[in-house]
């Protein structure tokens, strides 16, 4: 069974927590506990899921705060007593390996080198927290090629892979067909357009968007695919808007956005498209723009409470939920917009901060998948609007999994691509409502 948030830790898990707090690596923990490194990884997934922490540092802080680990005064006294008796003194903590001391020394030297360099002027994308320049692109981790293992007990299935590995794309379902457009690849932004046929489990490549932009969103607008803005290879946003006609495989222009934006959240509701937040090339924004296809025009709406980019939005019931995001740090924010009253209300925060997540609605509930900019995520989340609360949902990937595409079709979630140490082309599905009730109708 998958671990659930709030479950107590087992004795073995508490033992591993203590070793993590001592600064040991997974391999060192495996040697201490006489298990394989993969078994240590499984234990850590369960520990992260149960405690809700996002990193080993947070886990160590939680362990000290909760009293799971502590420096024993009696142990220090016994060590001092043995020293006074001429006995050998055992260290209170395991000595660091030579390579770790060498790594620490190299890190100190590099840090001093950076401090001695002349100060560099900030660019526009380094304002507001100084991390947006890095947030607009993905850099490979020190270890590339080995993806995190699927979470134990996850009910997600894997489908045909996306033709091009990428993240930061737009995704939407139009007339029972899934479309993925734009995004960021290892070679830079792309205008790639792919369609996925649910019945055939097959991707096809179509006419590309006439703009190679990343950090884009997409929405279903009637029989067309609606794609506004995005960022170019230099991280600068664009105001162009395009509509794709699936019947003719042709793109056409629509009214440009009121200002250039990328990394916004996008949702369709009652024949209009709602855009929230984003990045304007210099700042994270708190804004609402509404596109009316009948007028081919944009109008402004009341802004959300918090300025951020890389959030996600979807309609649920009579409200549009705007969840998560990034403003230099990942956000756990949840806000709900009422299009009729043109009013924002707050909803319960996510269990963990998530930037670059996807959200979708199925069966009257909201599902938040992915995130993990700097922290470790061991689970996804499900929101119940009646209870105004989030609960834990299994994940096919753990660790970082951000800027993926997420949509719902009928009773199933589809998660595509994203970034997890490298660009992904994986397609996952989760049957949220596996049981359907058919009521027979007797004809007269």
The residue with tokens 């005064």 is 73
Q: Given 3.40.50.9100, 3.30.70.1560, 2.120.10.80, 3.30.499.10, which CATH number is that of 157-431?
A: 2.120.10.80
- DSSP-assigned states of every residue in 40-93: HHHHHHHHHHHH--SSHHHHHHHHHHTTSS---HHHHHHHHHHHHTTPPPPPSS
Helix (H, G, I), strand (E, B) or coil at 393: strand
d(CA 111, CA 105): 10
Q: How far, in Å, CA of 264 to CA of 258, rounded?
A: 14
pLDDT at 253: 98
Q: Residue 32 has which token pair? A: 């201490």
Q: Give the global pTM.
A: 0.70
* Alpha-carbon separation of residue 54 from 19, 92, 115, 291, 412 (angstroms): 17, 28, 29, 37, 27
Per-residue DSSP letter, 106: H
Sheet (strand 319-323) strand order:
312-316, 319-323, 334-338, 343-346
* CATH 1.10.10.10 placement within the chain: 11-70
User: According to the model, what pLDDT value does residue 399 have?
Assistant: 83
Q: Which fold has domain 11-70?
A: Arc Repressor Mutant, subunit A (1.10.10)
* Contact in structure between 402 and 421 (CB atoms under 8 Å): no
So what's the pLDDT on residue 372?
Answer: 83
What angle (nearest 5°) sits at the alpha carbon of residue 366, between those of residues 246 and 173? 5
pLDDT of residue 169: 98
β-strand pairing of 202-206 with 219-221: unpaired
With a cut of 70, list the residues of the chain below it in pLDDT: 1-3, 70-134, 138-154, 375, 434-444
Name the segment(s) of the chain with CATH classification 2.120.10.80. 157-431
Contact between 363 and 408 (Cβ < 8 Å): no
């Amino acid at each position: 069974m998958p671990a659930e948030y709030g479950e107590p830790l087992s004795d073995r898990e508490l033992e591993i927590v203590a070793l993590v707090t001592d600064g040991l690596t997974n391999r060192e923990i495996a040697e201490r506990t006489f298990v394989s490194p993969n078994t240590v990884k499984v234990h850590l997934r369960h520990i992260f899921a149960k405690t809700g922490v996002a990193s080993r540092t947070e886990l160590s802080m939680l362990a000290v705060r909760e009293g799971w680990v502590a420096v024993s005064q009696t142990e220090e006294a016994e060590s001092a007593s043995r020293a006074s008796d001429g006995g050998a003194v055992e260290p209170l903590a395991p000595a660091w390996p030579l390579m770790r001391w060498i790594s620490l020394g190299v890190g100190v030297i590099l840090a001093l080198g950076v401090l001695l360099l002349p100060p560099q002027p900030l660019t526009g994308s380094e304002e507001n927290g100084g991390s947006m320049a890095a947030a607009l692109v993905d850099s490979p981790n020190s270890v590339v090629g080995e993806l995190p293992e699927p979470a134990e007990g996850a009910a997600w299935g894997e489908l045909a892979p996306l033709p091009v590995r990428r993240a930061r794309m737009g995704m939407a379902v139009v007339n029972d067909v899934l479309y993925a457009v734009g995004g960021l690849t290892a070679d830079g932004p792309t205008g790639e357009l792919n369609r996925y046929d649910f019945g055939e489990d097959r991707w096809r490549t179509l006419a590309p968007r006439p703009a190679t932009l990343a950090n884009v969103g997409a929405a279903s607008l009637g029989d067309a695919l609606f794609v506004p803005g995005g960022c170019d290879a230099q991280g600068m946003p664009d105001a162009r808007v395009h509509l794709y006609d699936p019947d003719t495989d042709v793109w056409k222009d629509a009214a440009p956005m009121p200002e250039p934006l990328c990394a916004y959240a996008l949702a369709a509701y009652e024949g209009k498209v709602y855009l929230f937040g984003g990045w304007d090339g210099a700042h994270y924004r708190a804004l609402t723009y509404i596109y009316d296809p009948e007028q081919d025009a944009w109008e402004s709406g009341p802004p959300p409470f918090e300025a951020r980019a890389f959030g996600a939005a979807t309609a649920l019931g009579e409200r549009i939920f705007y969840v998560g995001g990034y403003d230099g740090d990942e956000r756990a924010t949840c806000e709900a917009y009422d299009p009729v009253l043109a009013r924002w209300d707050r909803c319960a925060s996510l269990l963990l901060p998530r930037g670059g997540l996807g959200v979708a609605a199925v069966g009257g509930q909201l599902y938040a998948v992915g995130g993990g900019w700097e922290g470790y995520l061991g689970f996804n989340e499900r929101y119940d609007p009646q209870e105004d609360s989030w609960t834990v949902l299994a994940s096919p990937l753990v660790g970082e999994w951000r800027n993926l595409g997420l949509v719902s079709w009928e009773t199933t979630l589809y998660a595509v691509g994203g970034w997890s140490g490298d660009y992904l082309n994986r397609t996952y599905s989760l049957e949220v409502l596996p049981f359907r009730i058919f009521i027979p109708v007797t004809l007269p």
